[in-house]
Amino acid sequence: MAGLSNQTPIPTEIKLHKQSKIMEIAFNDGSRFNLPFEGLRVFSPSAEVRGHGPGQETLQVGKKDVDITAVEPVGQYAVTLVFDDQHDSGIYSWDYLYDLGQHYDVYWREYLRRLADAGESREAKTLVK
């Protein structure tokens, strides 16, 4: 998180589209982004996902069908997204969401490469009884 300044675009609208699993976010500079729930989950800015420093990241797997159950404000600068897999510790600042919207395709391609390199899947693993 680079930090907010008086140049940081501020959201004017955040909508959850539950059926398509897309969070639509509009900013006061006219930008509008459609961010998939799965991407928001795997790119969570939480320490659980990012670690506490370079090389401590945890690859998120099996998150293809994750849902967002709540969007909770954090002061005047961010939201916390509550996911149905119980993840709720990421603080999504306005600058982070804006960056994610601007560079989503690049981040997503890198995520898919890392997933493939690890032999993992976006699909949730099912338990065999």
Task: Please state, in angstroms and rounded to a whole number, the distance separating the CA atoms of residues 87 and 106.
Answer: 24
Contacts of 5 by beta carbon, 8 Å cutoff, 6+ apart? none
Task: Please state, in angstroms and rounded to a whole number, the distance separating the CA atoms of residues 27 and 96.
Answer: 13
User: Could you tell me how far CA 25 lies from the centroid of its own chain?
Assistant: 12
Check residue 129 and give its pLDDT: 57
Taking only the tens place, the pLDDT of each residue in 36-76 is 999 999 999 998 898 887 878 899 999 999 999 999 999 99
Fold category of 11-117 in CATH? NE0471 N-terminal domain-like (3.30.2020)
Quick one: pLDDT band at residue 1, thresholds 50, 70, 90?
very low
Q: Which position has the token pair 């159950």?
A: 69
Check residue 60 and give its pLDDT: 95
Check residue 127 and give its pLDDT: 59
* The residue count for the chain: 129
